[in-house]
Amino acid sequence: MSFAEMGLNASLLKAIEHEGYTTPTPIQQQSIGHVLAGKDLLGIAQTGTGKTAAFALPILDRLGAAVGKRERGRKARVLVLSPTRELATQIAASFSAYGRHTGLRQTVIYGGVSQHPQARAVRDGVDIVVATPGRLMDLMNQGLVKLDGIEILVIDEADRMFDMGFIRDIRKIVSQLSTQRQTLLFSATMPADIRELANSVLKDPVRVQVAAKNAAADTVEQAVYFVEKRNKPTLLKHVITEHGMSRVIVFTRTKHGADKVARSLAKAGIRAEAIHGNKSQNARQRSLANFKSQKPPVLVATDVAARGLDIDEVSHVVNYDLPDVAETYVHRIGRTGRAGAAGKAVSFCDRDERACLRDIEKLLGKKTAILEDHPEYPKSTGSADAGEAERPERGARGKRHVRKPHAEGPADGRHRSRRRKFSKSSGEVVASGSVSREAVTAKVPAPHAAAKSAVARPKTGKKPAKKPNSYTTMW
């Protein structure tokens, strides 16, 4: 069904055309009609599926149809709750883009910046408020924002709100809204807590679900390097320069780690910016704008900072550290390969991260191809791999692994079987495993003997000195 057939009004169809959308995404196909009909909706979908338009378009349609004279000081009629400032800003930008011909106004409310312009915007009159729960509660408690005109409530990324400790705020906010409202709740996952929240805020909802949580795994080419922790900086520089990574997000587990990686790249002459919760709002927005520019720096991000970012055309995701929780990996690689585009994700797995990799492969139900084109690493000083005790950023989900003792080299024989194989006759490098042969085959000179010996890396932990490989891969 096309957008027009769904019954969206002409001004929205014009905006959709302006955005270049030709076909509704599955979540849009399933949701728009119900929201237009005024139904409550429970949407199980994650960022990247087009869910913002799935709720913003029909909401704008409903508002547009009902609005007469839009006087100054009018009451907000739509409230969208979002877990992060970045996502709130993106949602407001989407309302602005889709509503460009409607005359409707929106504002965004979030913490970490002065509250006065936000309070003023609401006082001056807006139709749509997009807010993070904490700052909204602040403004409500001061009597600066009143929500007695809200007709439609959207709770976006509910599971993440829960992880970030916002659920009490949400319940308080909801308790102040009219019970006559329409409510839409979106969540990537549906644990018991979220089901309970949904039951208490939704009335007879339509349930729509798209793309199982590991769907990104099908569209994103994934591969892993087994590497010692101390060699990760060298490997990162290598993959960024040798694999044609044009717009890359590098994920680290900690804020400290993100800063360190960004500094190390800068030292090597690679422009990089770190984005995490300790950065000011302005710095984060600036990094984001730079990243969207024609010459993007490498963006080094923590999970909490990056999740929900709406960035198109990310060519590569690098998991510099593997996440403790397998679902987080899926969210990370979902930054690339969005809206059907091909994406690539490469992970660095050190000896302490093997259990994380196993969990990820179990969740995805497939093995990860192993890359072997290691650069030459600096000689070991024996100290760098000691491993700093770093805390994950606040708000990162789930429990940490209890790291198990490990052996050097791949965890088991199956890893070996997924390693790159060298065809003596053709001199081609062919990876086996989940990445398609066409995608990973590169015509190259027959591999250097030292490179061959690296494939069968000894289990002693000592790597033979070897020359950098000259071949390139699809990365």
Residues that bind ligand AMP (CB under 6 A): 21, 23-25, 28, 47-53, 310, 312, 338-339
Q: Minimum distance from CB of 1 to ligand AMP (Å)?
A: 12
Measured CA angle at 307 (ends 34, 30), to 5 deg:
15
User: CA 99, CA 414: separation in Å to the nearest integer?
Assistant: 53
- Residue (4 or 430) nearer to ligand AMP, CB: 4
Alpha helices in 67-213 (DSSP H): 85-98, 116-124, 133-141, 158-163, 167-175, 192-201
Rounded to a whole number of angstroms, the distance between the first and last alpha carbons of the chain is 37
Measured CA angle at 124 (ends 67, 53), to 5 deg:
50
- Residue (1 or 449) nearer to ligand AMP, CB: 1
User: CA 313, CA 320: separation in Å to the nearest integer?
Assistant: 20
With CA atoms as reference, report the closest residue to 93 among 64, 52, 138, 122.
Answer: 52
Q: Minimum distance from CB of 434 to ligand AMP (Å)?
A: 25
Give the sheet arrangement for strand 343-349, strand by strand: 272-275, 298-301, 248-251, 316-319, 343-349, 220-226, 369-370
- Residue (50 or 447) nearer to ligand AMP, CB: 50
User: CA 362, CA 78: separation in Å to the nearest integer?
Assistant: 41
Q: Minimum distance from CB of 337 to ligand AMP (Å)?
A: 12
Q: Minimum distance from CB of 16 to ligand AMP (Å)?
A: 8
- Residue (193 or 313) nearer to ligand AMP, CB: 313
- Residue (16 or 345) nearer to ligand AMP, CB: 16
- Residue (48 or 410) nearer to ligand AMP, CB: 48
Q: Minimum distance from CB of 310 to ligand AMP (Å)?
A: 5
Buried b (16+ CB within 10 A) or exposed e, 267-289: eeebebbbbbbebeeeebeebbe
- Residue (28 or 183) nearer to ligand AMP, CB: 28
- Residue (47 or 336) nearer to ligand AMP, CB: 47
Tokens 């027009």: give the residue: 4
- Residue (243 or 335) nearer to ligand AMP, CB: 335
Q: Minimum distance from CB of 65 to ligand AMP (Å)?
A: 22
Residues paired with 130 in a beta bridge: 80, 108
Q: Minimum distance from CB of 216 to ligand AMP (Å)?
A: 12
Buried b (16+ CB within 10 A) or exposed e, 369-408: bbbbbbbebeeeeeeebeeeeeebbebbbeeeeeeeeeee
What does the radius of gyration of the chain's CA atoms come to, in whole angstroms?
Answer: 24
- Tokens describing residue 446: 């027959």
* Size (the chain), residues: 475
Q: Minimum distance from CB of 46 to ligand AMP (Å)?
A: 7
Please say whether the beta carbons of 474 and 244 come within 8 A.
no
Buried b (16+ CB within 10 A) or exposed e, 416-427: eebbbebeeeee
Q: Minimum distance from CB of 287 to ligand AMP (Å)?
A: 18
- Tokens describing residue 139: 């403004």
- Residue (26 or 112) nearer to ligand AMP, CB: 26
Q: Minimum distance from CB of 30 to ligand AMP (Å)?
A: 13
